[in-house]
Amino acid sequence: MKRWQSSYIRAFKGEAYTEEVYGELPDPHWSEISFNPIIESGVVVAVACCSKNISNRKKIEEQLKLSEKMMAEAQRIAKVGSWELGLTKDAGAPIWSDEAYRILGYDPKTDMPSYENYLKRVHPDDLEFSTTIVEKAIAEGSKFSIKHRLILRDGTLRWINSEGEVIVDAVTGMPLKIVGTNQDITDKVLAEEKANRESNNRDILMNTIGDSMWSMDANMNMIAANARFIGFIKAFTGIDIKPGDNLLIEKFGEEVLTRWKARYERALAGETFSEEEYSEYPEPAWTENSFHPIAENGKVVGLACFAKNITTIKIVQEQLKQNEIMMADAQRVAHVGCWERGLEHEDHEKNFVRWSDETFKIFGYDPKNDTASYEKFLNRLHPDDLHFAPQVVCKAIEDKSRYALEHRIILPDGSIRWISSQGEIVVNEETGKPMKVVGTNCDITEKKLMEQEREKIAADLMQRNKDLEQFAYIISHNLRSPVSNIMGLAEELKDDLDTESRTLFLTELSQSVAKLDMVIKDLNYILQIKREITEIKDHVVFSGLVNDIKASISNMIQTEKVTIDVDFSAIDEMYTLKSYLYSVFYNLITNSIKYHQPGIAPHITVKSNQTKNGIALFFSDNGMGIDLEIQGNKVFGLYKRFHTGIEGKGMGLYMTKNQIEALGGTITIDSQVGVGTQFKIEFNK
């Protein structure tokens, strides 16, 4: 009631209006009720009311709304906006769907649709060409499709695809309007751009690398190739090869074709392989060609091929090989091997050990079949150096320093070699701990032997020099001694002397002169022995030698009742200088007779013996003997006499020693005063 009352009051106040009312009775229905005041003389006198059932209209309107909503929803989802632009003079504002607003970045509620507003959003760079296309379509009455960019209010770049159709008056042919859609294709364009970029990158990658890549089908027709390959084919044959072309181009020439055909066939049979190839054309180069079958469902349908320029690698490899050869040569020539041994593990066996070929050889191992190990080195180390050499290295490791030492090794054949070993500890820069020891081994055996020989020669020379000094001193003394006597006697003879004294002095004088002469003769004799031996060696029989001496001193033997026993059963012969050996035997035998004990007949034994290194001769007597504790170091000295009152020059044993040494032997003495003397002579082979 109230609703009706207010409606009537409104009408009576002079307002004409219509309202739509929904009622449930008798059926659910919509009514349109209009109230029209009837005015007479400016006064509302009555209200005319009219009710019309509008349920059907309402229903259609609802459906339309719904479909519009659905449409808008669909447009939103598809990012497609629809629009309509009137082209006639009386045409109103364009019609934009909500999504058309949104795509252009406008708000359907607040912004007005207009062609100008649309143009405002078009990217400046796209404005000219898109308007041109639209104008052309209008002029022709045709359809158009433009892909162009928008810049939204907030600066966002958006790609749209604008499609439109010009509707023309069927009678006049005049354009009436354009209906069209705008589709936001930003995501798609960006995705495309990305894909393009990736594909470009791939192309760039493929085309800029210096290697050739190509693929082919089972019929050896090219599927794809990079620029390098295409360029190569062009350079070689002058042909621009294209996908689908056969790869076996005749212009390659028979020889090349045969080779490549064989390779393709081999790969098409399913084998993956690479081959290195040298070619002079187009430029001298080494190439590594590799072939990879492409399989589909277990069947080879094509090949991916790859040709890599390995010239640089080859050159480096070749240089490396040359360097290695040179290094090995150098090591072999210099007898120097190098090696390194890791130190990081506590357990030696876990540390790596590397030896150069020459190191293997120096240690008597086979570089091909043996493996390097610290144990193998220790096996070779001379037992006497086993403690010293590793200790030096350990010390260097402790000090992180260098070391150099010389040690011996024993090779499998028993030979002893001298090794000069030098090394350095390499420290891990991060931890500061010893990482490895690197070193060299040099076989210095020959040098060492020469050094030892030199040392021996130097020692010999020094001894010889000392001997000569001594010799010079003794000679000068023994020359000076008679000279001084002669001077003294001559001085005395100047005086006025009685006949007896004069005779005595003259006798002494002549004796001193004779002594001087003898010393000079001795000197000659000694120097003769000291000179190089020129006499020819011969087989000398010891028993024969003794018999000759016995015969020459038979008088002495008889007078002194000498007995000489000989035993040369062990060995009775020697290859030597007979005159020297005779002199030695003679001196030793006559010495024994000369220095016999008073009242005891001299008994001499001469014996030979075969020793490990040669021959030993023993001369024993029962003579006076010499006190070796006092005289030992002088027995063989020149002009040394040990017994006063017995005739002797003090030269016999000196000469004997010199002669034995000249023959390469040695002489030693063993003696006891009152018992006898034994000389032992040794000749080493």
Partner 1 sequence: MTSPERFILIDDEKVANMLAERSIRKVFEESAIIKFTEPEKGLYFIMDECLLPALTTVVFLDINMPILSGWEVIYSLEQLACDVTSHFKIYIVSSSVDPADKEKARISPLVKGYLEKPITRSVVESLFMEKVAS
- Which residues of the chain form contacts with partner 1 (CB under 8 A)? 473, 476-477, 480-481, 483-485, 487-489, 491-492, 508, 511-512, 639-644, 650
Sign of torsion over alpha carbons 450, 451, 454, 455: negative
- Nearer residue to partner 1 within complex by CB, 63 or 470: 470
In angstroms, what is the minimal distance from the CB of 480 to partner 1? 4
Please state the closest distance from residue 408 (CB atom) to partner 1, in A.
42
Q: Cis peptide leading into 124, omega within 30 of 0?
A: no
The distance of closest approach from Cβ of residue 454 to partner 1 in the complex, given in angstroms and rounded to an integer, is 29
Q: How far apart are CA 307 and CA 214, in angstroms?
A: 9
Question: Could you give the 3-state DSSP secondary structure of residue 340?
Answer: strand
Nearest to 100 by CA among 78, 128, 125: 78
Rounded to a whole number of angstroms, the minimum distance from the CB of residue 478 to partner 1 is 8
Which residue, 508 or 682, is less far from partner 1 as judged by CB?
A: 508
Toward partner 1, which CB reaches closer, 402 or 477? 477
Residue 205 tokens read as 């990658």
Other CB atoms within 10 A of residue 639 CB: 16
Torsion angles phi and psi, residue 443, rounded to 5: -80, 110
What SS3 class is residue 415? coil
Q: At its nearest, how many Å lie between partner 1 and the CB of residue 492?
A: 6
Dist CA 142 CA 135 (whole Å):
10
Could you say which DSSP state residue 650 is in? S
Nearest residue to 304 via CA among 215, 217, 209: 215
Least CB distance from residue 508 to partner 1, whole Å? 5
The residue ranges of DSSP E strands in 383-526, in sequence order, are 402-410, 416-427, 434-443
Rounded Cα–Cα distance for residues 149 and 531 (Å): 119
Please, which residue, 488 or 544, has the CB nearer to partner 1? 488
Q: Judged by CB, which is closer to partner 1: 582, or 639?
A: 639
Nearest approach in angstroms of CB 488 to partner 1 is: 3
Contacts of 154 (CB under 8 A, 6+ apart): 105
How near is the Cβ of 334 to partner 1 at its closest, in Å?
Answer: 49
Q: Which of 249, 513 has the CB closer to partner 1?
A: 513
Using CB atoms within 10 Å of the CB of residue 341, give its burial: 0 to 12 exposed, 13 to 18 middle, 19+ buried. Answer: buried
Pick 99 or 522: Cβ nearer partner 1? 522
Complex with partner 1: residue 297 or 499, whichever CB lies closer: 499
**Residue whose CB is less far from partner 1, 56 or 484:** 484
Nearer to partner 1, 342 or 648 (CB): 648
User: Measured from the CB of residue 434, what is the shortest distance to partner 1 in angstroms?
Assistant: 57
Q: Are residues 44 and 38 in contact, defined by beta-carbon separation less than 8 angstroms? A: yes
Tokens of 317: 């490899």
Which residue number, 489 or 593, has a Cβ lying nearer to partner 1?
489
Q: Nearest Cα to 102, choosing from 76, 138, 84?
A: 76
Residue 186 near residue 156, CB atoms below 8 Å:
no
* Least spacing, CB of residue 462 vs partner 1, in Å: 17
176 in Cβ contact with 168 (< 8 Å): yes
The 10 Å Cβ neighbour count of residue 435 is 17
What minimum distance in Å lies between the beta carbon of 631 and partner 1? 8
CA distance 529 to 526: 5
> What are the structure tokens assigned to 248, written together?
């076996």
Report the alpha-carbon distance of residue 638 to residue 522 in Å, rounded. 11
CB of 568 to partner 1, least distance (A): 34
Reduced DSSP (H G I as helix, E B as strand, rest coil) percent helix, strand, coil of the chain, to 5: 45, 30, 25
In whole angstroms, the minimum distance from the beta carbon of 592 to partner 1 comes to: 18
* Smallest gap from residue 638 Cβ to partner 1 (A): 11
Peptide bond connecting 26 to the previous residue in cis, omega within 30 degrees of 0: yes
User: Which DSSP string do the residues of 37-74 spell out, in sequence order?
Assistant: EEEETTEEEEEEEEEEE-HHHHHHHHHHHHHHHHHHHH
Among 516, 301, 557, 342, CA closest to 437: 342
Residue closer to partner 1, measured from CB, 321 or 477: 477
Q: Specify the residue, 234 or 480, whose C-beta has the smaller distance to partner 1.
A: 480
Name the minimum Å distance from CB 438 to partner 1: 56
For the record, the structure tokens of 326 come out as 């040179």
DSSP letter assigned to residue 14? T
Closer CB to partner 1, 7 or 512, in the complex: 512
Angle between helices 542-552 and 578-594 (to 10 degrees): 50
- Residues for the chain: how many in total? 685
Q: State the residue for tokens 């009219």.
A: 50
For partner 1, the closer of residues 229 and 471 by Cβ is 471
